[in-house]
Structure 1
């Protein structure tokens, strides 16, 4: 290969300068573009949880303490449940902690819960029930099919205003229908107990 002439080498040397300057200029231009920025800010965003609270007026006492009952006996008590929540939700009633008797007394205590207005703990004077087609059921049945929030009954929709109240009336009866005298006698001296629970849960879809 022939070596380039002095003239060609001179042209190449002169043309290399502008190319280098152009590249440097391009780098400076790009760097200058990155220095121009603009932002807008929406500050102070925060999230806090709502409060969910339920109380009742039983003052720590059991609503039903029936001693010495005999077939055919019955009774009723009222209780006022108060929501202290500041978020909407739904209250449902259910049973827990059934303590069975050896003779199966839980099969013969029929229990029913109604919603309504009027009345207070241990006093149902003035109670007016809301129409309800759900019949009472033995304690043993309630313990099986009405034992958590999902299958709870007597729903009450709260609006999220602390102080909302709902009155409930519980009615029981000792039913020995269909039993022989021997089977009825076998229930003597039996004892059964169960917890009544009211639970409030917030709505599934919160407001953004």
Structure 2
């Protein structure tokens, strides 16, 4: 009888008369997006033929981020196989970031203050080859559309040696990459 009574007391103590429950339903997660485009329409910024010493030019491009999260944008290059008569050492390149200016025209381009790169095309294409060693970063806050403008200028050395005649460069890709 004592054993039965103690079993009932233990059962009653572990089966409470009052109960309270709460829950938090419908939890979910979704990833942000990172997206960059430019206004070139797939047209190369430069396709210069028959250059002569001292010749120069520049083009602008507008990069637009539709990223939904903050990102850092960097600029770097990629080249195809080098030609035998490579003239990259004789082409000076300047890369500036700023506002205004588009692929159609640099009218309205305003530099942000500092030049991001000045040197030869050879130096640019051998030192700025990945996101890790690219120019920048430019921080964007993830509120689309975030826009960056760049002006890239070039000049064929006025004192390019005769061996540069009929020379060429490899195809150079200018790459802007965003990472969050």
Query: Quick check: TM above 0.5?
Result: yes
Match status 1:23 vs 2:17: no
Spell out, residue by residue over 1:102-132, the C-alpha distance to the aligned partner (whole angstroms, 9 max, x if none). 1231222222211112211041112111111
In the alignment, is the contact (CA less than 8 A) between 2:77 and 2:128 conserved in 1? yes
Rg bigger for which structure?
A: 1
Paired residues of 1:98 and 1:143 also in contact (CA < 8 A): no
CA distance in structure 2 between the aligned counterparts of 1:27 and 1:110, rounded to whole angstroms: 93
- Residues paired across the two proteins, number: 177
**1:185 has 2:162 as partner:** yes
**Coordinate RMSD, CA, aligned:** 2.1
CA contact 1:99–1:194 (8 Å) conserved in 2: no
Q: 1:35 to 1:110 in 2, by over 3 A?
A: farther
TM-score of the superposition, structure 2-length normalised? 0.86
Indicate whether 1:143 and 2:121 are aligned.
Answer: no
CA change 1:198–1:134 in 2 (3 A) is: closer
1:39-68 per-position Cα deviation (integer Å, ceiling 9, x unaligned)? 321222111011111111101100111111
Contact in 2 for aligned 1:92/1:198 (Cα 8 Å): yes
Tell which has more relative contact order, 1 or 2 (C-alpha 8 A, sep 6+): 2
Change (3 A) 1:131 1:25: same
Deviations 1:51-90 (A, max 9, x none): 1111111011001111111221111000111111111111
CA distance in 2: counterparts of 1:133 and 1:66, whole angstroms? 23
1:151 Cα deviation after fit: 1.5
Match of 1:87 in 2: 69
Cα separation, 2, equivalents of 1:84 and 1:64? 26
Residue 40 and residue 103 in structure 1: after superposition, are their counterparts in 2 closer, same or farther (change >3 A)? same
| Structure 1: gaps spanning 5 or more residues | 1-20, 203-208
Please give the secondary structure, in 2, of the residue aligned with 1:140: helix
Q: How far apart are 1:155 and its partner, in Å?
A: 2.7
Gaps of 5+ in 2: none
Rounded to whole Å, the distance in 1 between the matches of 2:106 and 2:94 is 14
The answer to which structure has the higher strand fraction is: 2
Q: State TM-score, norm by structure 1.
A: 0.76
Q: Is the 2:97–2:115 contact (alpha carbons within 8 Å) kept by the matching residues of 1?
A: no
Give the Cα separation in 2 of the matches to 1:50 and 1:86. 6
